[in-house]
A = this chain, B = another copy of it.
Amino acid sequence: MANLFSFLIPKEKKFFPMFEKASGNVVMIAKTLVQMVNTNEPEKRKAILREIEKLEHIGDSVAHEIFIELGTTFITPFDREDIHALTSALDDVADFIHGSAKRMEMYKLPLPDPTITRLAELLEHAAEELNTAVIGLENLKNADIIKAACVRINSIENHADDIFDSAIARLFEEKENAVEILKNKEVLSVLETATDKCEDAANVLEAIIVKNV
């Protein structure tokens, strides 16, 4: 709900560039993941993984920066809880993308694998939608743009769920070696959780819109 006297409150603007840094970084890490899952040359893959690690650390720093700012800023553009939740969700997306990449490497999964590629691409799309929505936050006239991006993120997440579910059923049906099943299941499930975290971020964005428009 719009605060009736909101025109009196000087909104703190410095959060927006930080949010955009966080969501831009999520786009970068998702794009780098897509690159990694399409690379079957081991040395190149390791180099891309190091890139993903670097991006994950950048994400951590941005999140930390936002939390510090939150601790020292009296007036915030949205509820403090929502700023916290949005920042955490964006950080989680980067963490889970990194987690999936790390596991692919540690388990020496043969790549490219069509399901993994598909999930990585969906993550890239979800990250771009998240970025659109986050950029929109600066002006609440963008409420419809933000809402539309959130709807698309929800549908991407549903799609990822279906792909994940059938992939697991297929693993159980086709693979004989239980260790192979376990490795693949673990990587797929971390990828799927990354899309869940995109949805969590979208839910916070929707909640911000609900409360502020």
- Residues of A in contact with B (beta carbons under 8 Å apart): 1, 67, 70-71, 74, 80, 84, 99, 102-103, 106-107, 165-166, 168-169, 172, 175, 178-179, 181-183, 185-186, 206-207, 209-211, 213
Contact = CB atoms under 8 A, between A and B. Distances in A.
Contacts of A185: 182
A179 B172 contact: yes
Given A106-B169, A207-B84, A179 B182 contact: no
B181 A181 contact: no
The 9 lowest CB-CB distance pairs between A and B, nearest first, are: A178-B178, A106-B169, A71-B210, A1-B74, A172-B179, A172-B183, A107-B172, A178-B179, A70-B210
Contacts of A181: 178-179, 182
B166 A106 contact: yes
B210 A165 contact: no
A57 to B, nearest CB: 12
A179 B178 CA distance: 6
Contacts of A168: 106, 186
A182 B172 contact: yes
A130 to B, nearest CB: 19
Given A168-B186, A183-B172, A211 B178 contact: no
A169 B107 contact: yes
B186 A182 contact: no
Given A106-B165, A182-B185, 19 more contacts: A67-B206, A67-B210, A70-B210, A71-B210, A71-B213, A80-B210, A84-B207, A99-B165, A103-B165, A106-B168, A107-B169, A107-B172, A172-B179, A172-B182, A175-B179, A178-B178, A178-B179, A178-B181, A181-B182
